[in-house]
Amino acid sequence: MHARLAILAFLSGIASLLMQLSLSRIIFFYVANSEHNTALVIAAHLLGFLFGALLKYRWLKRMTIIHALLIILLLNLAVIVFGFITPVTLLSPTNSIIILTVTLLLIAIMFGLIIATLLLESNSSHNATNIVIWDALGSAFGALLVGFILLPVLGIHTSLWIGIAIIVAMMLLNQLARISASRMVIASILVILLAVLSYGLLYQSSDLLRVAGLPMPFKTKNSQVIAEKRTPFGELSIIANIDPRTGAGPQNLMIGNRPLCTMGTKREKQTFGSEWYLAEKTIPMIGQYNLPSRVAVIGLGCGITLSGVLEDAHPVTTVDVIEINPGMPDMTRHFNAWNGDILSDPRVKLNIEDGFTFFMDRESEPDYGVVLIDLAWMQNHNASHLFSQEFYQSVKKSMAPNGIIAVWTEEHTPTQTLAVMYKTLKSVFRDVVVNGDRGYFILFATDNPMMLHDHHFAGQKNETYWTQLAAQGVKINRLDNLVLNRTKFTLFGTRDFSESNGPDIYERALPAENP
């Protein structure tokens, strides 16, 4: 087999996987990660490959590899222009995912056409087999290269430009012995001009903040990116909205272009909101109910929940902080003025580990009196298992018999996500109460029949009842289904029970549901 065909097949495999994974990251940057979105990306890639081969064999027999590569190049440049210029706030999640998925489909069609063309040029079954082998090797190499080096180290922006460089190399290799030197020079100049034009367009709008080259949902001229960090679990960044009169302003910790937490200009604990409320409601129970003084906090973020745990008035001796993202502690330290430099407290033991693994590995360790789960974007694949029945069961084994667990949610209305979370906790713990005093709902669960019904949770009976109502007809979030992945930010939107069932939901009551 001619070496040119083998190299083209190998490069085609690399480039196709590079495009697929880079586009996947952009899609997940605009809309949350879920099985729906993952399935769309994979299906678009495979169907496009199939359609490309069919087009070559049936209708586009005269279309050459150079034509396909030119189309891929233009599509890739279009993705860069779309991904790096279009403000997130101007596109709905549905429109974003449709546009990017269709683009991925067209790119995959062209790669399918390229492989079909190479197979037709091979002239023998043996050579055809070698082309398939080289393409598969390139795909495997490309997946590892993109997943372990390009995206986590260089980012989406650079990865896409490397993809363009590979495509140009394929064009030159394919045409090297077929066209004159003058035409090759003209073609190269055209490609360079297109690349320069696209790169220039990236920065034509200077008032857009960017992390990893992608626009952030802040449009004010006084917003600044004061820190950013690439991690295996997404792009971390801190955005400050500076008031020119005072030189200060609120700071937002972002992960994957989505707000993880926001700190205002005031630094009193009364302004910290629902994350502080996790500790404010539960930690005093250590002394009141003679619980172990060891606490677990899952999720670090801005450090406000941990700051509430470590208040001087609280009888806490040890706090195990479990955070999967190795880049998060550096981001947390940017909020030391708000959280009191909590990571320097000797009572804090920081564990960079997945929460599920952490609790599964605990056997004869001391029990926890309180466990606080402060995680955002629970529909993300990195976190949805931490809201599963199996995880709650594992945590319960590490808790004191009368210990309490509190779970912060992103929900401020009675959504399907909240219903799933309630029903899942209720399948593990005897009593579950929902509290929405601070804007976002928090779920508290324990096996102590009195703990959630004393003065700490007075007036929450109606919230418990409507959550039980919302839980009817929804599934428990288990590892084998992870239904939370399909309750938020899918193509079909989020179900809001307050809208679907009417305003009288707060007044309805049902008997308590047994686990």
The answer to whether the CB of 138 falls within 8 A of the CB of 77 is no
The answer to whether the CB of 139 falls within 8 A of the CB of 166 is no
Please list, residue by residue across 135-169, b when 16 or more beta carbons sit within 10 angstroms of its beta carbon and e when fewer do: beebbeebbebbeeebbeeebbbebbbbbbebbbe
For 370, phi then psi, to 5°, come to -140, 135
Which pairing describes strands 223-231 and 234-241: parallel, antiparallel, or unpaired?
Answer: antiparallel
Residues of the chain with pLDDT under 50: 87-89, 201-208, 218-219, 270-271, 379, 455, 458-459, 461, 490-515
Please list, residue by residue across 6-31, b when 16 or more beta carbons sit within 10 angstroms of its beta carbon and e when fewer do: bbbbbbbbbbbbbbbbbbbbbbbbbb
Chain-centroid distance, C-alpha 442: 22
| β-pair partners for 284 | none
The answer to whether the CB of 144 falls within 8 A of the CB of 23 is no
Q: What is the pLDDT of residue 348?
A: 96
The answer to whether the CB of 515 falls within 8 A of the CB of 430 is yes
Q: Indicate the pTM of the whole model.
A: 0.70
Q: What is the pLDDT of residue 268?
A: 55
Q: What is the pLDDT of residue 467?
A: 59
Measured distance CA(396)–CA(485) in Å, rounded: 23
* Cα angle for residues 73, 75, 81 (degrees, 5° grid): 105
Q: What is the pLDDT of residue 398?
A: 94
The answer to whether the CB of 477 falls within 8 A of the CB of 483 is yes
Measured distance CA(400)–CA(66) in Å, rounded: 67
Query: Tens of pLDDT along 331-389?
Result: 999 999 888 899 999 999 999 998 988 998 887 778 999 999 998 765 455 577 899 99
Measured distance CA(64)–CA(127) in Å, rounded: 19
Which pairing describes strands 368-373 and 294-298: parallel, antiparallel, or unpaired?
Answer: parallel
Q: Where are the alpha helices (DSSP H) in 92-154?
A: 93-122, 125-145
Sign (positive or negative) of CA dihedral 49, 52, 58, 61: negative
Q: What is the pLDDT of residue 360?
A: 85
Q: Which two structure tokens, joined as six digits, stand for 209?
A: 């903040």
Maximum Cα–Cα distance across the chain = 86
